[in-house]
Amino acid sequence: MKTLVLDASTSLLYIAFYNNNEEIFVLKGKGQNNHSENMLTGVKTGLEQCNLKMKDFGRIIVGIGPGSYTGLRVALTVAKMFAWTLNIPLYTVSSLDMLASGYYHKDGTYAIVTRAKKGHVYGKLVEVKSGKRNIIFNDCFLKTEEFYQKIEAYDYFEINMENCLLEPLNLELKLVEDLHGITPNYLRGEL
């Protein structure tokens, strides 16, 4: 089955095509507030390089957040558009889990951290043991100092934008039942 994967929750724009479990196209581009300009162009480039049409895909996976307000809306809108018009199942995953997914095959405790605005971070703490993930702290939006205080008692490896490894097909996917009602996981508190 061919799978389209999209995430634009951070400064990293991630577009990937998989044929079964094999990555056949990937575009990883760093940007600042320009994912809306590059998302559809990136998908089009991948389709042309792989000689595919959108109707060839059997599912779509999108990072649902937390992350950038605009980036989340762009990725989810594109994913919903393709899913609805072509009747392709849409699945969501935590964008933080997506960034860490390449590490989840190895035992350890992982703090996944991405920068948010005004001295805040999006973060999560996950323990992997014998191939099973245990969420210690789920996706959160906290002041940077608060997040690091919350996890300081743990012996963890930090995953961030500099060392992320994306293997999204290894994640537990959540099927979207209501395409029109789904919204991104913004996780924004009062600033």
Q: What is the pLDDT of residues 110-138, one digit of tens each?
A: 999 999 988 999 999 999 999 899 999 99
Residues in the chain: 191
Say which residues have a Cβ less than 8 Å from residue 85's Cβ, sequence separation at least 6: none
Check residue 189 and give its pLDDT. 57
pLDDT in tens, 41-94: 999 999 999 999 999 999 999 999 999 888 999 999 999 999 999 999 999 999
Same fold, 2-95+168-175 and 97-159: yes
Element (H or E) spanning 115, and its range? strand 108-115
CA 10/CA 115 separation, integer angstroms: 8
Q: Mention the CATH class of domain 97-159.
A: alpha beta
CA 147/CA 85 separation, integer angstroms: 40
Q: Of the CATH numbers 3.30.420.40, 3.40.50.720, 2.60.120.10, 3.40.190.10, which one belongs to the domain with range 2-95+168-175?
A: 3.30.420.40
DSSP-based three-state secondary structure for 81: helix
For the chain, domain boundaries: 2-95+168-175, 97-159
pTM greater than the 0.85 cutoff? yes
Q: Residue 43 — φ and ψ, nearest 5°?
A: -65, -45
pLDDT, mean of residues 23-42 = 84
